Structure 1
């Protein structure tokens, strides 16, 4: 799911136009207000552009896999959208150099790299210059979780370069930006933890995941599902069953898209000492301005413990089945075959087969027997795989 917000603007000051601007108390107040109300960060970005004479501005969240989310002014949106879709594999050497040479300050690109380096830098050649942008400046704020928050500014082509005077002006408010951004990040982490904790109150194992399937928070009930649920490298969530993991990873990767139907309720077969489970993946719909944790979705796990066929309404809710599909699923869970189902429901066998095919697709199962076992919560057949 794309985690970004576009900030509409009618244009921002050129470098020379911003030189005489000060850092007013009102801006500092706004920065701290944005710490608790992320929707205000767009206004802060526009103020930073005005102070430095930048044409475009962005606030980004970076993790080990690259860009995790961003806020961008209207003038930066096309470049960032392009980078989001095609540029995560491109190395940005300026981040490491900024942390090394200007760890507590803003710096311009020409303070971090030579002009010759930037002339061949793929980020500039592929994602800046084609979108009418020329020079950049910014600051990196490390986050205790290992992520980085980056304030990024850019000039329009031909408007001039950033200089140390502009960086010094931004440095006057950098401590406020850093404290407020870190507070926003911590508050976002708390929101993710609270989401998982709330599910525990009603007895449901739950976890919140973010960019690239990275686990942000999980309640005790979810952690107790190990080893069927695994916590892999880089905090990635995984499942022991390869087929379950394949379906889950595909669902997490496409959770923000409705372009094509995806299985988002995934069965986990019963084990000799554990009940069958259904893993439900739900998207997180949040204010676009909150990029600090970038929660993509919530996983909720429900046990399938009852040997009797589940209620039709329950099946509809668990797997997004239509009423007709739910009746077919319930019949399969009761042990009926297609011929008996057709007679019971007064339908043709072709209609039942069509509905059964839809049920298999929505539940992530491949065979009628597999569907029946999953829905009834029965133990696997000896030797079944």
Structure 2
């Protein structure tokens, strides 16, 4: 049976997949190796309709299209699903196909003979990873006809793995739900006509809408953005804004406002976000909402405040280059911007160096500067910040 070190590495891969769903195939391939299988197929099935809501697959020999063909054409008539193998199965219970479907049945069954065996699936070990009122999560591991059936050793490994997979997938589902809510929130922020930003307690910008990006890029209204830090050009105004942000991100959190003298009649309103509630945990990072609006219109609910940018060219923010916008906000150099572009395109530092015909040390130096300017600690954090910025 696989040792504890292998299981620990596998658990790490599962939680990596929680935050990056594209890693699920690799995680499932490692799960397959852990239990001595060639591949694995994870299914989230709607209990009322029997249809697949979500699926992931990983491993050797079997192509993703084969799983798609099985789900589209054979799921409801697969004897492994309709026999006693996977019916009335308990959570974290694992069963073998050869216990319920003998050699004689397999030799006569069209699904085995015409589809499963030709694609490399003869022996299956299936388990129920989790179940709710609406859905159930099932996982099948596979071996070929040339291999031996699954046994007690593989079943024991699957039982060790199953609780970790259950927790990881529950967290995955919760994370997906939160991400969907966050995307709706980002869309709502973008739809607001006033310049609006979300900042942390040090006034580092975490998110901003197109109107705020216009304002900062134009260096208009007395506001400044250096290395992703929101401030004001005038020292006393900078101190006042910094104090408002600190006040909105401490405990207890308090909102406030100040006049923006460079835009007559305009005010900066700073309000705490829910993270700064009385229930805040030590590990959470309080955030504040910064809104730039004309006070009288804000209070009366009249039409949105329309900033006058004078002769500054109008921008179609829907067509704005997100890399350029990010580079302006964090004041990146041309070379740093090219490195950022490479990372967001999925290139490694080595590939960026080859693309630009420069040394890897040069790319590393530019990457180090990128990290410092964006307050990131890894390439993954930098890419994640970029896509949240968009």
> TM-score normalized by structure 2?
0.41
Larger Rg: 2
Normalised by the length of structure 1, the TM-score is: 0.42
Of the two structures, which has the highest relative contact order with CA contacts closer than 8 Å and spacing of 6 or more? 1
